[in-house]
């Protein structure tokens, strides 16, 4: 890192409309200079593996943004995977129910990829967390679906929401399951002169 980059850090652009990612960054003292959600097609390619999918999504989001000189863009993508199957955001209640039944009583993976675009390069980090759900009976599932917390969530749940009652165990990064692996993200930003802190 040069002295000039220490003196004048890049402008930090968050390429995400997720309020959860903004809250996570604030938790470790980061405040983006601007928020510019990336608009891309998030449809998986036929036969695409979950790891490849999240990496591609994070990278394409970063590369879709228009950046001025001296700006750095951080983007991320999170998906839930059961085996080779990608569980995205459910289209409706029935699909949400199908996702939850698939995960009931077993482990699944949550994959989050983070991309940082700056100075003509895009750096990528990927974090995998294992999550176990206890068996979910139909009555509990219906109550969960009625609550509505599955809407707009990859895999039909948010670990920090109502589904927390179904999750007795995780192995890996809790914040990555929420939407952004904080330790890895802080290290990526620090490498280009953007530092957080405590509040």
User: What CA–CA distance (Å, rounded) separates 168 from 84?
Assistant: 23
User: What CA–CA distance (Å, rounded) separates 170 from 133?
Assistant: 9
Q: Is 139 exposed, middle or buried (0-12, 13-18, 19+ CB in 10 A)?
A: exposed
User: What CA–CA distance (Å, rounded) separates 14 from 34?
Assistant: 6
Sort strands 169-171 and 121-132 into parallel, antiparallel or unpaired: antiparallel
The catalytically annotated residue of 39, 41, 77, 94 is 77
User: What CA–CA distance (Å, rounded) separates 18 from 12?
Assistant: 16
Please indicate whether residue 77 is annotated as part of the active site: yes
The residue with tokens 């029935």 is: 94
Catalytic residues: 77
């Amino acid at each position: 890192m040069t002295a000039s980059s220490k003196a004048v850090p890049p402008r930090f652009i968050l390429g995400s409309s997720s309020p959860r990612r903004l809250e996570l960054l604030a938790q470790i003292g980061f405040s983006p200079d601007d928020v510019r959600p990336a608009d891309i097609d998030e449809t998986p390619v036929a036969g695409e593996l979950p790891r490849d999918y999240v990496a591609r999504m994070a990278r394409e989001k970063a590369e879709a943004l228009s950046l001025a000189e001296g700006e750095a863009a951080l983007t991320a993508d999170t998906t839930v995977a059961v085996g080779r199957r990608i569980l995205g955001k459910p289209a409706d209640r029935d699909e949400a129910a199908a996702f939850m039944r698939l995960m009931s009583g077993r482990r699944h993976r949550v994959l989050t990829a983070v991309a940082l675009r700056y100075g003509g390069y895009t750096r990528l980090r990927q974090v995998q967390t294992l999550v176990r759900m206890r068996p979910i009976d139909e009555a509990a599932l219906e109550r969960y679906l009625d609550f509505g917390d599955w809407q707009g969530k990859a895999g039909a749940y948010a670990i920090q929401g109502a589904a927390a009652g179904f999750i007795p165990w995780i192995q890996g990064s809790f914040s990555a399951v929420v939407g952004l692996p904080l330790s890895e993200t802080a290290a990526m930003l620090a490498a280009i002169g953007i530092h957080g802190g405590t509040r």
